[in-house]
Amino acid sequence: QTKGNLEMEGTDDDMKIERQKGDPAFVMIENKNIQIDFKTSLLNIDNYTLQSPCVEMNNFIKTANTMARSGCNASHEMQNLAAPFTRSQPGNDIAKQIVGIAGQMENQWRNIQMQLFNFKRQHKTHPNVDNLKRNLCTNTKKQIDAIVMNLEKVSKLKFDSIEAIEGSMQVLIAVWRNNFKLQFGL
């Protein structure tokens, strides 16, 4: 669904994702290839970086969700860059491994998005908000740690066309960890 220069995504009105069409992380689908300008997106990483804890929890969740979506898109782009080599060079085990690992990372980022969605639905009414926050931090940390392990695996495979995406995702993860520490103090 499109409104002006914004595209709306999602089914829950409370968690619709708004993306500016000029935003470098905005996914444009042309000829079934997803194209994302990660260099420009990385230059705008300060848009995701918290300077102080968010007073309004929904602002923090929106920022975290945007970051998770960017990580998911980056993982998908890794798959898109490696997949053609699995078809053109059927014996290319490195490309196959990258497609599989990037798929795992995409699912891990989606898991984080789901955890954020569930947290947003519960944080105002849950009887033990501190426990809810701790669970969010613990569970997203597990996913982020798994993504880091997968990035290390991909890095060892030495596939030149995805190095920029690897680097941008490492920066995204560093900012993610800093934001959670700043927001929750855990």
Model confidence pLDDT, tens digit, residues 133-160: 999 999 999 999 999 999 999 888 887 7
pLDDT at 61: 93
Over 50: is that where the pLDDT of 118 sits? yes
Segment 34-63 shows an average pLDDT of 74
Kindly state the average pLDDT of the residues 65-78: 90
pLDDT of residue 171: 87
CA atoms within 13 A on the CB side of 138: 6
Whether 9 has a pLDDT exceeding 60, the answer reads no
